[in-house]
């Protein structure tokens, strides 16, 4: 299978997001009309939120931000500690 070009990868991602939004919209409509139980929609939304949070918390950007914040906090404590009166 040939490797996809970057523009086709973006287009495919865009179409996937539209497909997902369409499916979610129909599921919401069916739930509002009483054709489906609301627990199924709620569990789907919570599963997607859980997955999104897990992906974000493992992303390189988030980990780098946490490293910078922890580094900044430890620098502050090292600067202040020599001046503490015990």
65: region left, alpha or beta (phi > 0 left; psi from -120 to 50 alpha): alpha
Q: What is the pTM of this model?
A: 0.53
The pLDDT, as a whole number, for residue 81 is 59
Residue 76: what pLDDT? 63
Q: Which residues touch 41 (CB under 8 Å, ≥6 apart)? A: 27, 28, 31
- Low-confidence residues of the chain: pLDDT under 70: 1-2, 4, 76-86
Which residue is it, tokens 């139980």? Answer: 37
């Amino acid at each position: 299978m040939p490797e996809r070009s970057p523009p086709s990868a973006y287009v495919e991602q865009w179409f996937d997001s539209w497909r997902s939004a369409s499916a979610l919209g129909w599921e919401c409509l069916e739930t509002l009309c009483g054709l489906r139980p609301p627990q199924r929609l709620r569990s789907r939304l919570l599963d997607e939120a859980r997955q999104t949070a897990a992906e974000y918390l493992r992303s390189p950007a988030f980990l780098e931000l946490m490293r910078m914040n922890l580094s900044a906090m430890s620098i502050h404590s090292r600067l202040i500690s020599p001046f503490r009166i015990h």
